[in-house]
Amino acid sequence: AQSVSQHNHHVILSEAASLELGCNYSYGGTVNLFWYVQYPGQHLQLLLKYFSGDPLVKGIKGFEAEFIKSKFSFNLRKPSVQWSDTAEYFCAVRAGGFKTIFGAGTRLFVKA
């Protein structure tokens, strides 16, 4: 069965620190990859997506992610986090068909 693994469940950073959240998936074929963000008390919003082409994709609010096919990974990065980035981040994969599978999420807390 397809699965998505997020390496860290909780991350605490100080403002201006750099962020990298890991995501690996288990599927050998063509995938569409996503990162969603859920701010406290809100619904999920799309942060960025990868379908094909340049494996380095840029999203909203200064986030970017890199698709490394050989490692089945799609890690999320941001050079300098802000207090307002405090949220839960979900990696998701569509590996054929009509199912988008989500990871367990990473809760990020940014200290002001």
Partner 1 sequence: NAGVTQTPKFQVLKTGQSMTLQCAQDMNHEYMSWYRQDPGMGLRLIHYSVGAGITDQGEVPNGYNVSRSTTEDFPLRLLSAAPSQTSVYFCASGQGTTFTGELFFGEGSRLTVL
Instruction: In whole angstroms, give the CA distance from residue 54 to residue 6.
Output: 22
Please tell me whether residue 102 binds partner 1 under the rule CB under 8 A: yes
For 45, other C-beta atoms within 10 Å of its C-beta total 11
Return the SS3 of 107.
Answer: strand
Give the SS3 label for residue 19. strand
Considering only the stretches 13-21, 53-61, 79-87, 101-109, report the one whose residues sit in contact with partner 1 under the rule CB under 8 A. 101-109
Tokens of 67: 């698709």
Contact track, partner 1, 3-42, x by CB under 8 A? -x-x--x----------------------x-x-x-----x
Give 23 or 110: the residue with its C-beta nearer to partner 1: 23
Q: Which one-letter DSSP state was computed for residue 98?
A: T
Minimum Å gap between C-beta 22 and partner 1 is 14
φ/ψ of 81, rounded to 5, equals -85, 155
Question: Which residues are at the interface with partner 1 (CB under 8 A)?
Answer: 4, 6, 9, 32, 34, 36, 42-46, 49, 51, 90, 92-94, 98-105
